[in-house]
Structure 1
């Protein structure tokens, strides 16, 4: 009996500083029956040369002009021939047992997603990643998974969490190319609402890179607007399925997190988000910060505290007890 084929899809844009490490982790997988669809999304660095440095026959390389992560992922999906789909970022790392463990966990099911453990690292060393257990690190009915994920202080809806049966994507469709920031949220909600269960795979680990200069720049107002559109769409799907007071508050909290991020850079968008939160019945999500920030927030409100935080940073006060 032939073994299932997994299609790994990786959009690459100026990924040269990290791509070799990502490639090593994929090409050393204990489950060998995969194809790796790498889509060079108009890179201007050595991305192409690094990909060509490997002669592994499982790599399928494509190049297009820069259209963004969603469009590149959709292009990769159009070329995928596997029974299962794995989206994988070009700057992350997966453990050697990742694919094998997720495939085993699904055990042939086409009505479920396999999830994975993940840890964040900042110093360029995946071994320093801390895997902090989440409330969703167990087998859960899909809507329960969503409720638990959104109830956490920070939910992780990255598409790289999932091993996805191809039939699920054929049912839900690919990525919305009009979205950029927060695009994983809308995409993952569609996936989750199309399956019965999420199966947590403890032995599949993803090492999530944070703190890159290229990834940590302040998003533009246009990007923030796309993030709110993604939230609009994802929450609309959720509330169509579950219009309970709990789900309304979870959606309000999701908007509140974005309000904390966009204030005070996009006043019109801020007003729009505040209205959405009000219509949902209000949020109970507080803004994260250090003890001094929390004290100032309790006295003056989080907006004044954030204004003071920014004012001090603009004047060179970097080491603040705000964060």
Structure 2
């Protein structure tokens, strides 16, 4: 009798009218270097043919979940996390791709470092056509290593811009499920606060950018500034004796990003 075991990793992708770039994402997952995975795709009420396209994909590792109404990306993530059965978890956006070799390396290092809650690497930024035009790296380290909690948090807050993206971080599923409601930056900061994390020097995500994307828009810059997001993160995740300094330090570049959004049409 064959006993079904849980996959090593659950990859979660939320789709919504995703036909334009999803083929690249699909190729990077299904032709990647990890075979023991489940890919949970949660469609958020697409109307552009994405649902029909997903239903026609024939692969045993894919699990589809269709929502009847558009309820937002965080609701899709929450659904995917609830459905996930893997030991590890990766949230991958519908228009991004996984660089070959980066996923297996993160998993191998997590398997050999049971105290680490997350493994991440650099982010390669690509334009609409898929051309890589820059790469962000974590400060002060240039080789694969295990980073302490305080060192990781210090590195994140010392840079004027956040050097990571959600899709470059592999997390332990148990940690994610024990921290419901946390996504993206906050989820990684919480992992770093609670324990060591693993860094690998290669790019772990090809992150697609658009000149019109909301995360770089003037409206979003204003929202972030007046909500004082990074100042709140400083007090939440950093030790009390340095949090006031970093709260001020992180607010200043956010102010200049707002100013820049009013004078430039380029990506920020």
Shorter-chain TM-score range:
0.7 to 0.9
Deviation at 1:148, TM superposition (A): 1.1
Corresponding residue for 1:75? 79
In structure 1, what is the Cα distance between the partners aligned to 2:65 and 2:7?
A: 23
What is the RMSD of the two structures over their aligned residues, measured on CA atoms?
3.0
Partner of 1:208: 207
TM-score, scaled relative to structure 1: 0.70
CA 1:12–1:254: 2 relative to 1, 3 Å: farther
Q: Indicate the structure with greater strand content.
A: 2
| Partner Cα distance (2:96, 2:157) in 1 | 24
> Structure 2 regions of 5+ residues with no counterpart?
none
Asked whether the 8 Å contact 1:99–1:204 carries over to 2, the reply is no
| 1:115 equivalent in structure 2 | 120
1:256–1:118 Cα change, 3 Å: same
User: How many pairs are equivalent?
Assistant: 258
Larger deviation: 66-75 or 251-260?
251-260
The higher radius of gyration belongs to: 1
Candidates 241, 245, 249, aligned match of 1:253: 249
- Please list every run of 5 or more consecutive structure 1 residues that lacks an aligned counterpart in the other structure: 176-182, 264-288, 290-305
The corresponding residue for 2:159 is 152
Q: In the alignment, does 2:18 pair up with 1:36?
A: no
Offset of residue 174 of structure 1: 3.8
1:115-135 residue CA offsets vs partner (Å, 9 max, x unmatched): 122211124224x34334431
C-alpha displacement of 1:43: 2.1
Which residue does 2:240 correspond to in 1?
243
Alpha-carbon distance, 1:100 to partner:
1.0
Work out which structure has the larger RCO, using CA pairs closer than 8 Å and 6 or more positions apart in sequence.
2
Normalized per residue, the structure richer in helix is 1
Deviation for aligned residue 1:71: 1.5
Normalised TM-score (structure 2): 0.82
Q: 2:62 aligns with which of 59, 62, 72?
A: 59
